[in-house]
A and B are shown apart, each in its own frame.
Chain A
Amino acid sequence: MGKIGLLPVKDNRPIQTLRELFVRWLESGRVSALLVPAVSPAGIAAPVLWSDPEKASQIYPLLPVMGINSAGVVAEIAADKAEGSRLGVVLRPCELRAVVELIKLQQIARDNLVLIGVDCAGTYKPTTLVNELKSDAGELENWITGFLTAQDRYLKDERLRRACQLCEFPVPLVYDVALGFLGVNPKEQLLIQSASELGDMLLSEVNISPVAAVPAERQVYLDHFIQNRQEQAVRMIADFDRTALGPEKLVRYFAHCINCHNCMKVCPVCYCRECFFDSEVLKRDLDGYIRVSRRKGLNRMPADTLLFHLTRMNHMMTSCVQCGICEDSCPAGIGLSVMFRKVSREAQAAFEYLSGRSLEEPLPLTTFREDEFRQIGED
C-alpha cells in the first residue's frame, strides 16, 4: 500500500492533464462523481459535483480560489453510507483535514469517499480574482499555470487570504490519492501518490513513471515554503498578541461583532444542527432583560456576543483546521483566522493533537488521559 509516481504533463498544461486523469476515473466507474473546483463560463468559481466527462473544460483542479471550505459540502451530501455510489472529493489540505475531523465526529461516512488531495500554495477570495476568472478559458488556464509555477510569488502575495499567508500545510495529510505540484515543475510533471488500497487501484489505471521516493528537490522546496510561512505566522501572531491579548483587548477585538453567526455557519467543523446560541435558552423575557440592565445600568445589545465567540472557540479549538473561512465571511472584519490559528494550534498542542492529521488519533476532548496537564500545580 502506498505508491509514488510522476504523472507526465502534456503541452505544459497541468490543469488539462488532471482533467484527463479524472475523466479516466469517471469513465472506468472508479468514482461515480467528483466534487471539484470549477469555473463557469460566466466566471463564477465554485466547487461542482461533476459526473459528465463532456463538461471537463469547466473543471479547474488546483484553482487557487476558495469561497467556501468544501468539507462542509461533503458533510452535507455524504453524511450517511450510500449503496452504490462512490464520491471522489478533490480537496485542499485544510479541507481534507476538516473532512478527517468530520469523519471522526461521525458526520461523514468514510466508506463512500475517495479522498483526492491536492497541493495548495494558498488561495484568493473569489472577489479578489474577478478579472482573472472572467477571462476566457485558455487565458484562465494559463494564469493558473503561471500561478502554480511562480514559486516565490505566492509566498509574498499579500492578496492571498490571510489564513493562507500563515498556513504551513501545503500538502495533504490524509488521502487515498495525493496530487502534488510544489517543487516538481508542474509544466512537465505532477507528483501522484497513493496511501490506501483504493488509491493503489486508482494509480494502476494511469500511466505514471514510478519513483522510489518523493523527489529530493520537492522536499527542499517544501521545507523552504513551510519555513517562510512559519516566519509569516510568527509575525502575524505577534501583531495579534499586541492587539488582542488580555481581557480588555479581547473584548475590543470582538467589539464590532453584529451577532450574525456567519462564522459559525460557514465553519466546516462547526457541525451542530442547531447552535446553542440560536436556541431559546439564552433568551429572556422583557422582565429578565430589564433585570440584567438594572444590574449593570446599561447592557450592550445584542447581548452575549462575546460569550458566543468564547464558546465557539472552546467548542472548535480542538477540531479547527485553521482554514480561515470564518474571517472571510465576517461582515465586521474581525480577524478570526489569526486568532483561531493561535488558539487552536496551542490547544491542540496541549493535547498532543493535530486536527486532521490522522483518522485514528482520538478526539482529545473525549479522551481521558491520567497524565494530562500534570504540569499545572504539580512541578
Chain B
Amino acid sequence: MKRRIGVFVCHCGINIAGVVKVPELVERAKNIPGVVTALDYVYCCSDPGQRLIRETIQKERLEGIVVACCSPNLHEATFRKAAAEAGLNPYLCEIANIREQCSWVTSDRDAATEKAEGIVRTMVAKVSHDQPLVRLGVPIVKRALVVGAGIAGIQAALDIANAGYEVVLVEKEPSIGGHMAQLSETFPTLDCSQCILTPKTVEAGRHPKIRLLTYSEVAEVSGFVGNFRVKIRQKPRYVDLDACTGCGICLEKCPVRVESVFDRNLTRRRAIYRLFPQAVPNKVVIDAQHCRQLQGKKCGVCAKVCPAQAIRYDDQERIVEEEVGAIVLATGYELFDSRRLGAYGLGVVPDVIDSLAFERILSASGPFAGEVRRPSDGRVPKRVVFVQCAGSRDSNQGVPYCSKICCMYTAKHALLYRHRVHDGEAVVCYIDVRTPGKGFEEFYRRATDEGVQYLRGKVSKIFRRGDRVVVWAADTLAGKKLEIEADMVVLASAVVPNPDGVALARRLKIPVDGWGFLSEAHPKLRPVETLTAGFFLCGCGQGPKDIPETVAQASGAAAKVLAMFGQSELYHEPVTAVVDEEICVGCGNCERTCAYEAVRVDPHRGKAVVQAVMCEGCGACSVACPAGAINLKNFTKQSLTEMVDV
C-alpha cells in the first residue's frame, strides 16, 4: 500500500513563482506515484497557508506531506508543527527546497520547473519511507557553569543566579573582574570603570546561588546538553581562602618583587599578592614561581606575619567536579602582542606602550595614582602620539579585522590625557575613525573640539632619539609625510581572543573562526548559542565589542540558559543514528568519526552502541561504515537510494 501523500507548492511571492512554472509543477506533482493531491499557495508559511495544509491533511486523510518551498532551515519547523496540529506525525512532513536550490540559481523557467519536479519527486520518495518519530525527552540539571568572570561572565552568572538557579563561576585569575578591572574611565560617558564594576563583582562574590571558583580552570567536560559533568582544576593558592582576612600585612613583608602583569609590567608586586585592591575574593595568593619558600629557599616570612595563620605552603592542586545543564563561555580577549610589529618599537623603545598599559597609567590605582607620567623617567609627557590600528586591519603582520573598540578608547585616552595635562598635545594617527554607536560620534567630536589632533595616515616607524620618541607618520589629507617628536606613544593594539579560551574551545570541540573567536550557531539569528547544544557564548571571546554590548550579550546568553531551565525536560531531535547489530562488525569507524562522542563499540559484544541524546544526527558515522550498519533514522540506505533513483 502506497502512502497517501500531499504536495504543497509555495510561490514565495515571486521568489519561486517568478521562475518555476508553479501550475505546471502542481500538475506534474499529481502524477508522482503516491501523490493524491497537489496544491499551490502564494505564501505557505502564512497563517492561511498553514491552515490550507492542515485542512488538506485532514480532508484527504494524508499520511505524508511535501512542502515545496524555501530551505528547511527556515520553515521546516513551521510546517512540521502545522502537520502535527492536523494529527500527522511531524516527521512525515518533508521540505523540497525549490527556492535556494532551484529558483534562485537560474532564470531558465523550463529548466527550473524540470528541476523543481525532480526535487519534489526526491522528497516524495523520502516521505514514502519516513517513519513516524517521537522526540526524546532528556532531564535537565538546572545549574549552569560560566567560564570566565570578566564583565561578561559576571553578568551572565548574576542573571542566571537572580532567576533562582545555581551557577558555578570559574575564573583563571585569582580575582574576578577581568579586563574591565584594569580600565580607568569608560567611553563615551567617562564613568569610572572600577566604580561601575565593583557592585557587580561584590554581588557575584556574595551571591548565595553563585559558587565562585577563582584561580581555576575547566579541565574536562563530558556528557551532553542538560547533563554535563565538568572537572575543574583549582590551582594551589597556598593561602587558605576561609582563613585569609585580606588584611594585607603579608603584602608589605614579602621580600620578593616581580613585575605586575595586571599593571602591564609598569609596577612591581610581591610574590604574595592581591590582583588589585578591590579584588573579589579579597584574598591573597602566592605566585609559586617567584616565592622564595616554594622555590626551596629560606623565607617563610608571610606565614610568620599572618595573624590569621592562613598560609599553606603544602597546598595542592585540586579537581572539583560539578554537574551542570548549560555552559556559558565568556573567555574574553587579550591584546595582540604589538611587539610583533617590529617597526613600532614596543618593548624596545622606552615610552612606547600599549593601550592597556595607558589604562593603568590613567587609573587611580595605577602606577602613578592617575597622573599621566612616562614609565621610563616619571616625567609628565608634553606630547603623546596615539597610534590606531596597531595590528588591526593589517593582513600582513597583524589581523585583518577591525577591533571595533580602539577608535573610541583612543578618543577617550586623548581626551583624558588632555584633561590631566592641560598644556599637553595629543595627536591621533588613524586610518579611519569609526563611530557607529550611541553617543560615539558626539564623543569623537568632543575630542576634536577639545583640541585632540587627528592625522589621517598609517604610522610607518617609531624609534628613539635622545630621550624622545620619534614617529614617522603621514597626513594623507594634506599629502605630507610627517615626523613627530613625542614624549610617549600609545599603541591601540588589536583585540585577539584569549589564548586559554581558544585552547579550551578546541578541547571542547566548540567551533572557532580562523582567529580563534568562538563561532556562534548563526551569525544573525542565533548569536549567543554555539553549534554544540548546551554551550552558549558572550563577550569578547566571540569577537571584539565594548562593555554595553558585552553586557547585553551576556544577558542574552543568560536568557537562553534560563529558557532552557524553564522547561521540565529537554527534547532531543529523534533523527539519530541506529545500529543494525546483525551487520555491525564492531570495526569502530563510527566511533572514531563521531565528533560528539555519541557512538562507541561495546568491547564485550563487539557492536557499536549509540547514545541517542548525544547524537546530533550529522550522519558522519553512516558514511564511515562500509557495511551500512549504522544509519540515521529516516535517512536509511533504502530511502536515500530511492531518493537518488526517482
Q: Do A and B come from one complex?
A: yes
Give A residues with C-beta under 8 Å from B. Answer: 79-80, 105-107, 271-276, 279-282, 284, 288, 292, 315, 362-363, 365-367
Check B637 against A272 for contact (C-beta < 8 Å): no
Is chain A's interface secondary structure helix, strand, loop, or mixed overall?
loop
Interchain CA distance A52-B119 in the complex, whole Å = 67
Min CB distance, B144 to chain A, in Å?
Answer: 30
- On whether A366 and B585 interact (CB within 8 A), knowing A276-B627, A281-B628, A282-B641, the answer reads no
User: In the assembled complex, which residues on chain B have CB atoms less than 8 Å from the CB atom of A80?
Assistant: 606
- On whether A272 and B583 interact (CB within 8 A), knowing A281-B641, A315-B626, A366-B624, the answer reads yes
User: In the assembled complex, which residues on chain B have CB atoms less than 8 Å from the CB atom of A272?
Assistant: 583, 585, 626-627, 629
User: In the assembled complex, which residues on chain A have CB atoms less than 8 Å from the CB atom of B628?
Assistant: 276, 279, 281
Check A363 against B592 for contact (C-beta < 8 Å): yes
8 contacts between A and B (CB under 8 A): A106-B606, A272-B629, A273-B585, A280-B638, A363-B592, A366-B588, A366-B593, A366-B624
Interchain CA distance A107-B606 in the complex, whole Å = 9
- On whether A107 and B592 interact (CB within 8 A), knowing A276-B637, A279-B628, A281-B641, the answer reads no
The 4 closest A-B pairs by CB, nearest first: A366-B592, A272-B627, A105-B587, A315-B626
Chain A residue nearest to B621 in the complex (CB): A366
User: In the assembled complex, which residues on chain A have CB atoms less than 8 Å from the CB atom of B582?
Assistant: 273-274
In the complex, which of the residues A274, A284, A362, A365 contacts B627, with contact meaning CB atoms closer than 8 Å?
A274
Tell whether B589 is near chain A: CB-to-CB under 8 Å: yes
Min CB distance, B459 to chain A, in Å?
Answer: 33
User: In the assembled complex, which residues on chain A have CB atoms less than 8 Å from the CB atom of B589?
Assistant: 105, 363, 365-366
Tell whether B9 is near chain A: CB-to-CB under 8 Å: no
Interchain CA distance A176-B592 in the complex, whole Å = 27
In the complex, which of the residues B588, B624, B638 contacts A106, with contact meaning CB atoms closer than 8 Å?
B588
Tell whether B47 is near chain A: CB-to-CB under 8 Å: no
Interchain CA distance A281-B642 in the complex, whole Å = 9
Chain B residue nearest to A275 in the complex (CB): B627
Check B587 against A106 for contact (C-beta < 8 Å): yes
Min CB distance, B579 to chain A, in Å?
Answer: 12
Min CB distance, B44 to chain A, in Å?
Answer: 30
Interchain CA distance A66-B601 in the complex, whole Å = 34
Interchain CA distance A272-B626 in the complex, whole Å = 7
User: In the assembled complex, which residues on chain B have CB atoms less than 8 Å from the CB atom of A367?
Assistant: 592
| Interface positions of B from 615 to 638, Cβ below 8 Å from A | 624, 626-629, 637-638
Interchain CA distance A53-B139 in the complex, whole Å = 63
Check B641 against A107 for contact (C-beta < 8 Å): no
Min CB distance, A137 to chain B, in Å?
Answer: 40
In the complex, which of the residues A106, A276, A280, A362 contacts B626, with contact meaning CB atoms closer than 8 Å?
A276
Min CB distance, B28 to chain A, in Å?
Answer: 16
Tell whether B645 is near chain A: CB-to-CB under 8 Å: yes
In the complex, which of the residues B585, B601, B626, B637 contacts A281, with contact meaning CB atoms closer than 8 Å?
B637
Check A106 against B583 for contact (C-beta < 8 Å): no
Chain A residue nearest to B626 in the complex (CB): A315
When each residue 574-596 of chain B gets 1 if its CB lies under 8 Å from chain A and 0 otherwise, what string results?
00000000111111110011000
Check B638 against A281 for contact (C-beta < 8 Å): yes
User: In the assembled complex, which residues on chain B have CB atoms less than 8 Å from the CB atom of A284?
Assistant: 645
Interchain CA distance A372-B241 in the complex, whole Å = 49
Min CB distance, B206 to chain A, in Å?
Answer: 44
Min CB distance, A362 to chain B, in Å?
Answer: 8
User: In the assembled complex, which residues on chain B have CB atoms less than 8 Å from the CB atom of A281?
Assistant: 628, 637-638, 641
Min CB distance, B89 to chain A, in Å?
Answer: 24
Min CB distance, A156 to chain B, in Å?
Answer: 38
Check B645 against A292 for contact (C-beta < 8 Å): yes
Chain A residue nearest to B590 in the complex (CB): A366
- On whether A106 and B586 interact (CB within 8 A), knowing A273-B627, A279-B628, A365-B624, the answer reads yes
Min CB distance, A310 to chain B, in Å?
Answer: 13
Interchain CA distance A275-B627 in the complex, whole Å = 6
Interchain CA distance A288-B638 in the complex, whole Å = 13
Min CB distance, B628 to chain A, in Å?
Answer: 5
Interchain CA distance A315-B585 in the complex, whole Å = 15
Interchain CA distance A365-B587 in the complex, whole Å = 13
